[in-house]
Amino acid sequence: MTEALRTFNQKIIDEFRANQGVVGEPFAGTPLMLLGTLGAKSGERRINPLAYIVDGEDLIIAASFAGADQHPPWYFNLVADPKVSVEVGADTYEAEAIVVDEPERTRLYTAMETQMSTFTSYREKTQRPIPVIRLRKIV
């Protein structure tokens, strides 16, 4: 991750936490959550702001990396250790990250595109199938 992206993400994280999950542009009105993972190589705690949709009781995220041709670093972290933390609004909890298989992956990604058109442009920018992850709250 570049320093510019790290700085951008930290600004979003700080704003999210200061306002119980509400952020301004460029994500105003977008359902955002903070995903906490352990670095697969470093073992350090990583936090990433991500858009999500709801499917039943689970949150759904996509490893779109803005349409880049590789998966985002956080994806490899949750594959290595699927126990993650989730912050939504003022609520924080642990969840299990489950990478979704077809045909559910396409169904859920299409639902994300319906709610947030940027996910269509991400899909169109890359040849890779964008992984979709179900975050199931651990109770």
DSSP assignment, residue 130?
P
Q: What is the pLDDT of residue 101?
A: 97
Model confidence over 77-114: pLDDT tens digits? 999 999 999 999 989 999 999 999 999 999 999 999 99
Q: Which domain holds residue 23?
A: 3-137
Model confidence over 22-68: pLDDT tens digits? 888 888 888 999 999 999 899 999 999 999 999 999 999 999 999 99
Tally of domains within the chain? 1
Q: What are the φ/ψ torsions at residue 72 (nearest 5 degrees)?
A: -70, 155
- Residue 14 sits in a domain whose CATH number is 2.30.110.10
Q: Answer yes or no: is pLDDT of 8 > 80.
A: yes
Cα gap 40→77, rounded to integer Å: 5
Kindly state the helix (H) or strand (E) to which residue 8 belongs, with its residue range.
Answer: helix 3-18
Q: What pTM did the predictor assign?
A: 0.92
**Which candidate, 57, 21, 38, 48, places its Cα nearest to that of 135?**
57
